[in-house]
Amino acid sequence: MNYTSTRDNSLSVSASFAIANGISAEGGLFVPEEIPQVDAAFIAGLAPLGYAERARKILPLFLTDYTAEELFAYTEAAYGSQFEGPAPAPVKNLHDNVNMLELWHGPTCAFKDMALQLLPHLLTGAAKRVLGGKESVILVATSGDTGKAALEGFKDVNGTRILVFFPDQGVSPMQKLQMTTQEGENVGVCAIEGNFDDAQNGVKAIFTDAAVKAKLAENNMCFSSANSINWGRLVPQIVYYFSAYADLLAAGQIENGDKINFCVPTGNFGNILAGWYAKQMGLPVNKLICASNENDVLTEFLTTGRYNRCRTFHTTVSPSMDILISSNLERLIFHLLGNNSDETNRLFAALKENGEYTVSPALLQEIKATFAAGCCNDDATKAAIADTYKKYGYLCDTHTGVAVRVYEAYRAAGDDTATVVVSTASPYKFSKAVLGAVTDGKFTAENEFDMVSELEAITGLPAPAPLKGLKGKTPRFTGVCAKAQMEAEVYKLLRIGE
């Protein structure tokens, strides 16, 4: 199976090439030329398996140039004891036929671990085949959770270096501490003045700059990407949609073939797009419900067909979803246009030049057949966290709170199909907002770790060990740079001359 580019569909490259390069040379995203198909027997066969075994059924369908031995070793290494508890991606029943898929039991307590524990293995395997021994330099722009998850995944992995840029005012104190205290010999971290889109645009510009590339090549290095534009980030995420379905089958909550909904708290559109690929492969999915915070650009797009990034950027209590340009949407549009890169180019040129594009009514109809969408503000998010805790004793983080709220409104409008709400972070990553929600603002703790303790005392739910372990650690990386200085910062962190 080969991959093509959303901006040039005459390309045809291997999975290794797509993963090692991250983004296509002309700026497009790599996508599978065809989507592999599975049947009901395949899905039934997943039910008795563990998570790594489920991954070994699904990944080879896309990663056809990796050997079975490679994928065995990679999945064993990725989905092992670094996940706390009995399973990497457990499904918990909330009430009736509504379930939570918890994707935050990994080392950084957010769903990015599901992909970023595997990606370094996929990347080093690919680099051997297609990069001829060059060192891979991973540049990451993060809205909070990706950065730490990538740092943990890549730290001290031979043949790789990793540099992370995060918006100085755009991440939670816990997220910031997680990144600035990162250990490892091959890591660098820098805050930038600006928001996530500034960081992402800055990284994209460096990534595609020929002069920068030449400079790296002189030093036997080349760029790759751990952002969710890398196919190696998306493909591991497809697994947990199947895994959740298999768990509901095993629990007897559904019959094989029954359609279910997924509600996904969304920012860059990577998580929910993996759900779309799962549906295209044959997973019985009714609706994919896209939940946004006050940055509601996707809600508007999925309901009206108009994507308009010219709007106020809101800093919210769910910072990993504070995004106005959802990069992975380009993949969906390319596929729905019948793999038409000319038309994709036209739409995304319009986005770049005018800040907006509108898809045809026919395309909108197709989108609406699969996607529902909704959004809510911070007050509604906090109310959802408080209500869910009071009614069901279930504590969710702020991102998951958005999804719960949007799902409730969706269900109230009439669809009570069995549903999986995707839970993307530990509530302890966003203790202040969560504590504020469950105490109605009446808490005494003033610093981050006291808030963790107070939330533990109130709920009886233990905080994850990797978060508690940060207490008292001194930051290693304290730099803040302007967007224009990012390139210089890259050379500095790589210790190569300008």
Ligand X SMILES: *Cc1c(COP(=O)(O)O)cnc(C)c1O
* Site residues for ligand X per CB under 6 A: 110-112, 145, 228, 265-271, 320-321, 399, 424-425
Spatial distance between the Cα atoms of 170 and 314, rounded to a whole number of angstroms: 10
Which amino acid is present at 269? F
Spatial distance between the Cα atoms of 17 and 42, rounded to a whole number of angstroms: 28
Q: Which is nearer to ligand X, 186 or 398 (CB)?
A: 398
What is the Cα 375 distance to its own chain's centre? 18
Query: With b meaning 16 or more CB within 10 Å and e meaning fewer, what string describes 106-121?
Result: bbbbbbbbbbbbbbbb
Q: Which is nearer to ligand X, 6 or 320 (CB)?
A: 320
Nearest distance from residue 99's CB to ligand X, in Å? 17
Spatial distance between the Cα atoms of 452 and 351, rounded to a whole number of angstroms: 42
Q: Which is nearer to ligand X, 227 or 344 (CB)?
A: 227
Spatial distance between the Cα atoms of 324 and 35, rounded to a whole number of angstroms: 28
Nearest distance from residue 364's CB to ligand X, in Å? 20
Dump strand ranges (E) for 294-389. 306-308, 356-358, 371-375
Nearest distance from residue 103's CB to ligand X, in Å? 9
DSSP state of 463: P
Inter-residue contact 176 to 240 (CB < 8 Å) = no
Strand partners, 307: 357
Q: Which is nearer to ligand X, 202 or 319 (CB)?
A: 319
Q: Which is nearer to ligand X, 216 or 273 (CB)?
A: 273
Nearest distance from residue 309's CB to ligand X, in Å? 15
Spatial distance between the Cα atoms of 328 and 307, rounded to a whole number of angstroms: 13
Catalytic-role residue among 57, 92, 112, 429: 112
DSSP-derived 3-state class of residue 244: helix
Q: Which is nearer to ligand X, 422 or 435 (CB)?
A: 422
| 204 carries an active-site annotation | no
Nearest distance from residue 465's CB to ligand X, in Å? 19
Spatial distance between the Cα atoms of 443 and 437, rounded to a whole number of angstroms: 10
Inter-residue contact 254 to 280 (CB < 8 Å) = no
Query: Residue 276 to residues 26, 29, 154, 190, 344: CA-CA distances in angstroms?
Result: 25, 16, 28, 34, 18
Nearest distance from residue 82's CB to ligand X, in Å? 17
Question: Which residue numbers are catalytic?
Answer: 112
